[in-house]
Amino acid sequence: MDTLTMFEPERVAPDTEVLTAYCPVPGLGVLPMNAFLLRGREPVLIDAGVVALGDAFFDRIGASIALEDLRYVVLTHADPDHVGCLGRLLEAAPNAQLATTFLAMGKLGLAGHAIAPERVCVIEPGAILEAGERRLVVLAPPVFDAPESTAIFDAKDRFLYSADAFGAILSAPATTASDVAPGSLEEGIVTWTHVDAPWLGNTREEPFRASLDLIRRLAPRAILGSHLPPAFDMTERLLGHLERARTAAPSAAVDHDSLVARLVAA
Ligand SMILES: [Fe+2]
Ligand SMILES: [Fe+2]
């Protein structure tokens, strides 16, 4: 795979779909880039895709719901891989509100994507967003690359939408995380976590473990990461991988010469 590619949506519950794309990472493999569509009385989209996906992203959503019915677009954070189609989405979905943090709103404004205040519902960790039959609990993820990052726990499906946390660089696309060889998944998560959260090695063990215990207590049936194939019944393993990432030596940075060599060899 040498370009960003959208895959067919993966149904992970009767009314919940993963909108999956894979992005090549030269010399290292591929990175999943997921958004999530939660159907119901008040449909919710978690994250707004990558701008390069364009029509493909809209086609996948439109195959499941009418865009006029979309009630919320929840942004986990304002990074480009999460907000790419946001402006077009809010135009095409006039009844949708953007649910995100105050800081994410500010970042969007500074990036030239100011959203009218009446289209925004500000959520912060600790908030609960009621969307039809769903109660979406907003919480801070244990690792992140942007301070406004929020994870979402859907009490209906018992899914944890973990934002960038638990992401993994993989050797090839996979339908579920359990399809990836255990050692490769662990290395992929450790490598991604070092890239995404280079501060992690400076944290103290106790508070970091407490942030992992919060997830343990939620006991999600699946962890649905923005950069991980759906991971059912793997919570304890994945928490262990984050603990290892905290103490493991950082992966070697890719410098100019090695990147050019990898691109030429690819
Ligand atoms: Fe990010
Ligand atoms: Fe991301």
pLDDT of residue 143: 98
* Model confidence pLDDT, tens digit, residues 149-180: 999 999 999 999 999 999 999 999 999 999 99
Q: How far is the CA of 34 from the centre of ligand 2 (A)?
A: 9
* Model confidence pLDDT, tens digit, residues 179-205: 999 999 999 999 999 999 999 999 999
Q: How far is the CA of 227 from the centre of ligand 1 (A)?
A: 9
Q: By the 8 A CB rule, do 30 and 21 touch? A: no
Q: How far is the CA of 75 from the centre of ligand 2 (A)?
A: 11
Whether residue 138 has pLDDT greater than 70:
yes
Band of the pLDDT at 113, cuts 50, 70, 90? Answer: confident
Q: What DSSP character marks residue 51?
A: G
Q: How far is the CA of 19 from the centre of ligand 2 (A)?
A: 14
Q: How far is the CA of 189 from the centre of ligand 1 (A)?
A: 14
Q: How far is the CA of 229 from the centre of ligand 2 (A)?
A: 13
Taking CA atoms, 98 is separated from 46, 68, 77, 256, in Å, by 10, 14, 12, 39
Q: How far is the CA of 155 from the centre of ligand 1 (A)?
A: 24
pLDDT of residue 77: 98
Q: At what angle do helices 235-247 and 205-218 cross, to 10 degrees?
A: 170
HEC string for 204-219 = CHHHHHHHHHHHHHHC
